Chain A
């Protein structure tokens, strides 16, 4: 209250200096804070959260000081309970720090062994709860913490838990070859094992060997779904058909190599090891009491959890370089470092600044000398003498983000999150990160023809968005030769697509100024115009007078009858000229609506809102007329496909267009009239992809709903009487949409499309078109497969809930009977 008064007093007049300077955020103008020693639980919290962040502080010092601060204040009850909770929370929120917090626990164990029992009992409950919920990443992270405590566990410690988990994996894998939970469990076991081995060095070699002998069968078998999530889509003719290696397959062989080397695992930190001089601490630690791990119950049936599981492959944009700037896939470090970085990235989506900070500082959390010095230029890596590491921390960080951005079928978060992490990393350490990003971009550009088309478009989207955050600067000169390639060449298509997206985020003149000469021609004068030309302004256009008239009527919001009169005139003229009357009038009308709304999206949306009945009637009248709506929009905004796509999306929302109209317009209409060359335009792909996502999104909304309102979740605001019927309809519509896409693309891909047979044109373009169609096909087949899998899961879930509801109903009925008996 005092602050408030003081501020008011200082405010004085409206024009006070103070007001003028006040930014939105610094409302809080207190004097210098009085210094005081924070209570121990606050100090421990602060220190534990920041553990290992400071590279200047030796780990053993830091770990010891926190442990001492904690044990010295053992009587502070708040501190005691907070400590355990915080260790658990850090394990799942900041996994890079797990070995360090574990080391604090191990040291505290020497003075206050009770703390380990407190922690273990909560940890065990946590693991059980996460398994029950199918939160497999949290299971993995808790197990990692447990693994780091192996040194203070009685008996075999973590091993029995891992063995029991493995038993579940075997059951799942034998039951179904498409099972993904079993694969996930094996991955977790393999990723936990290395931490056990460094936490209790030298003791468990046989145990580890036994376990790995068992995991071998599951890990080395390629998963049936793997072909679908392969990031590269090689041309069928190409010889180089080596598929990416599955993550668990790699892990298994990497760990085998480690086992043969006595589990050296040089990259993992060992903050519980003290320097040779400090024998006293080390022996205290070694003599600390051991604890029994409370039993962990793993349910007989385990669930997949909220996120659908898919097999994973190892993806790197720094593969096959002449110097290893990232750990090679033969080395366990590749998987271990990647795993914890990816977890960090995906967990901390709520603060991209901290994610970026962690990525830049990643060398703080691994053993010294794991990486080359930060910001070492790539060329200088060559001068590093072995056995020193040539792994560039920036490359490792950037690689981890790209592995998520290019994750198939979909990464955990929206793609723009990964964009933002790269942007922040680049802002934090431009000199270090920018060159690494540059090399990643070159790799992806070179390989974009063989990338899965969905990923190629993600690359396009990221690239243009990234440049928009850094003044649109890129060394375009190095790709200058590709400007002269045909537009259907994948690399040229990338350039065209990227420039279009850059312009969407900025404006044509600005982007033109960032480009070297040959590129400038790619930006046509139409793109620089504020609004497109109105074709009816010229009398050469058929129906020019009528067009101008309708535009005038729309502008002054004339009543519909007046418009109808002009439409009638157009239609009768069209009949005289023997063209489709509805198509002709629809083209004029839609073009006029677009023209009237050309000033901005809200203008056009308002214009559509006012005319939506007429538009809907026109669209409903015939397929040809509906298709003409799309043609008119795409023609009017041809220089700005982004605007066209946006308008099409809104027309879909109004149900003026159907998804099938859009799909057919692209894959039959436009592709047909361009002999398939339209398939090379990224905005065509974007249009189809967005439409498909709209349809599948709708299905996903209705699929989980139970058939009858009484079975529906009480939290559904509106009970849906016809949920079952709606679902059937939506699913049917989705399937026929996918079928239509499949049909159209197959004939393009096999060259059996009439237009291709007739063309007899140059074989080179036809070959490119066939390849584009193959790439499209792969994307939408995958989408279809994923949606089918989703429907299967949703059906299971509905059945489970229905059974649950029945069970409850029976219980209630029994309860009533019992009550009656009592009466």
Chain B
């Protein structure tokens, strides 16, 4: 019986088995996790400030926003285009409640008050958007959330009393805590790394909690979940609230990274970019959005130089991104992660295909 238990648990690796002890927790981390952690922690030792700030800092922030979309789409089956707007909402709130160059609007609250309130307001925005969207399915969810995102964009551009209209807010910077200037490349990198890691771990952990399991159940078979006692509407709305938390943190980091926030932060372009990032990376696992974000940022940053060196118009970098998106979606609906997994299973198959032959030889 004990033997059966052991063998039975290996294929699907039941994580609840390793609960309770930190040592067991660490044992669960795969080799690539340790390598990635070491690489990310040591990156500032050998990479330039440009690379850690403009490449990795930006990629981790976009990754967090795409992660909040991945949580809704991958686990909940709800493709929400409102996550970028939720992020921008948090960024705006930090500017409005805290300090900015627009002193006649900004209230100048201390950081310990304005940051939590900004996150709460953004979460409320995400929740209300979710409440409007969850009664629809598929393409209609996308349309409703796109409509909300567009409304947010036009509202912030036209409202001057609160959102300062077209110009938005400038001179946004993180609070000087512990005597560190968090706007400097290295501190900001670690700040972003900390929150990105926390978001990743939280989504990974919650995916196996009752809330996360039930969300996946609702994705696969809402009718059955209802017949098991779950209120699927409430559950879906709660998923929007949960996802909004990560988007909100990322939005605040983004406003610090750019030092400004304006309607263009959450225009239709960036809203769609988040969807592209999540799909390119892969919607099945929480690491996917970060991979997608890194690819996106690298393309955004270097495609222009590549095009110019080939004698083409540098403004065509969007074409490269679009082509890359098309190729990935065409060859692997599960994104880059899906490609990787297919390659792995292909290798495993060809190895096991060889095994009987070796046996025969022996």
Partners in one complex: no
Interface residue ranges, A against B (CB under 8 Å): none
